[in-house]
């Protein structure tokens, strides 16, 4: 049986690719508007293919259009390559999920860890936070520049707090006691302390996606809208605060004036600068490859830093090549890094990767459980993060491994076999 969601996404990807040949901005706009409308008309709120198409196309439009002069102009050839990359990704996901069933709350098994498993999952994260504070002598949330003094070990361990937050939020239907609610709020606060905006965005996004899979109601749609608004606010406010806190960077007002963005609202300008950073750095990599001047491979550079000896992370390599103002290095879009490493084979790699994720979704849809959905959407959000960051990082593998461990322990315990789906109840 062919999934209507997947077929619709595949047709939209073909149309977007065709339109992008003439106008990449129009092709991306079609993909953004089309995926949003299909999500609405088909009520396919939990279909990850539409999530990818909507988030990635908005990302490229808000950051890639020449609304300012920040890091120079985005060239049409590069923008067209990004549009084709997204069409390949969307089409590949649609092909992989053609046989997927519509995931609904009544078919989801309530298989979640007990509280002691969740509390055990907190331990690595607490150790990472303590290690980070001892290294930076501060809280990076309030002093963003200090996070560059933190070791890779403390950062990776702290990021595992995403798992206990998601699991504790999903078990609220079992345990809505004041203590449990305080635990959820405390875990979210701990997750914010290292100052990485993507972590709370990922945790909130996974929770909302699982809630939408349980059933679309006014409450879940309100949660989704709130999480989306909070994510945009975190990106904009984080960029604004970093400019105010770090004297090496231009102030928000100065940056808007110098980069000809004074006509934009300040919050939107800072969001635009944040999204444009990776797109513009990726453009440098794109043209280096076209000019035959590509350097060392970047995709697996961060993973190589775990090996003995001295290896530079991808961000440091790009920072040395293009210049940087802070110690944190630079990031580039995944399509650009793939093009830098493998040329136009990047389009095939993106399509195949998305196809495999679509096949995985098809398998999950046959026997969904809450924790498997949480694991899948966690990997989806890491894919979104990797799309903007480019190089693969160890946390993409470690954090899902912690979730897998919680899933294994949960399966050793007796569990109820039906889900009350209180997340999906009308408020």
CB 227 within 8 A of CB 253: no
Q: What is the pTM of this model?
A: 0.87
| Residue 150 tokens, joined | 């933190």
Q: For 107, how many CA atoms within 13 A lie in the half-sphere containing its CB? A: 11
Q: CA 362 to CA 365: how far, in whole Å?
A: 5
pLDDT confidence of residue 422: 39
Q: Which helix (H) or strand (E) holds 38?
A: helix 24-41
Q: CA 61 to CA 57: how far, in whole Å?
A: 6
What averages of pLDDT result for each successive group of 10 residues across the chain (427 residues)?
88 95 95 93 88 93 92 93 96 93 78 77 90 84 75 87 90 75 86 84 87 73 71 69 64 86 88 90 92 85 76 79 66 93 95 96 89 92 91 90 85 57 41
CB 390 within 8 A of CB 332: yes
pLDDT confidence of residue 239: 66
pLDDT confidence of residue 323: 67
| Residue 296 tokens, joined | 């060392």
pLDDT confidence of residue 421: 42
Find the domain containing 162 and state its range: 1-427
pLDDT confidence of residue 57: 96
Q: For 292, how many CA atoms within 13 A lie in the half-sphere containing its CB? A: 0
pLDDT confidence of residue 418: 45
In total, how many domains does the chain have?
A: 1
């Amino acid at each position: 049986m062919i999934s209507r969601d997947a077929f619709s996404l595949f047709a939209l990807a073909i149309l977007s690719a065709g339109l992008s040949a003439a106008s990449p901005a129009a092709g991306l706009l079609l993909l953004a508007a089309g995926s949003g409308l299909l999500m609405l008309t088909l009520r396919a709120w939990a279909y990850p293919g539409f999530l990818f198409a909507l988030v990635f196309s908005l990302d490229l439009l808000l950051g890639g259009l020449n609304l300012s002069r920040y890091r120079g102009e985005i060239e049409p050839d590069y923008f067209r390559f990004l549009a084709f990359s997204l069409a390949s990704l969307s089409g590949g996901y649609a092909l992989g999920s053609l046989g997927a069933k519509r995931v609904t709350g009544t078919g989801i098994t309530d298989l979640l860890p007990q509280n002691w498993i969740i509390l055990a999952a907190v331990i690595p994260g607490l150790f990472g936070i303590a290690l980070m504070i001892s290294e930076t002598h501060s809280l990076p949330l309030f002093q963003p520049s200090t996070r560059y003094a933190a070791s890779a070990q403390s950062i990776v361990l702290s990021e595992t707090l995403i798992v206990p937050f998601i699991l504790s939020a999903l078990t609220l239907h079992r345990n809505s006691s004041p203590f449990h609610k305080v635990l959820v709020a405390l875990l979210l606060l701990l997750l914010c302390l290292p100052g990485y905006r993507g972590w709370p965005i990922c945790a909130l996004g996974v929770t909302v996606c699982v809630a939408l899979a349980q059933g679309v109601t006014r409450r879940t749609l309100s949660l989704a809208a709130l999480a989306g608004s909070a994510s945009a606010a975190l990106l904009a406010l984080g960029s604004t605060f970093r400019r105010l806190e770090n004297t090496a960077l231009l102030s928000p007002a100065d940056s808007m004036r110098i980069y000809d963005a004074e006509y934009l609202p300040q919050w939107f300008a800072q969001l635009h600068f944040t999204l444009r950073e990776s797109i513009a750095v990726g453009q440098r990599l794109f043209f280096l490859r076209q000019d035959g001047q590509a350097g060392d491979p970047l995709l697996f550079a961060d993973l190589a830093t775990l090996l003995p000896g001295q290896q530079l992370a991808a961000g440091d390599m790009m920072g040395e090549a293009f210049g940087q103002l802070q110690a944190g290095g630079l990031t580039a879009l995944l399509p650009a890094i793939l093009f830098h490493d493998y040329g136009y084979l990047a389009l095939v790699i993106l399509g195949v990767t998305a196809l495999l994720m679509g096949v995985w979704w098809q398998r999950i849809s046959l026997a969904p459980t809450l924790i498997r959905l949480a694991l899948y959407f966690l990997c989806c959000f890491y894919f979104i993060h990797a799309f903007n960051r480019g190089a693969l990082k160890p946390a993409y593998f470690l954090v899902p491994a912690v979730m897998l461990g919680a899933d294994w322990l949960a399966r050793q315990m007796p569990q109820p076999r039906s889900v009350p789906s209180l997340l999906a109840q009308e408020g």
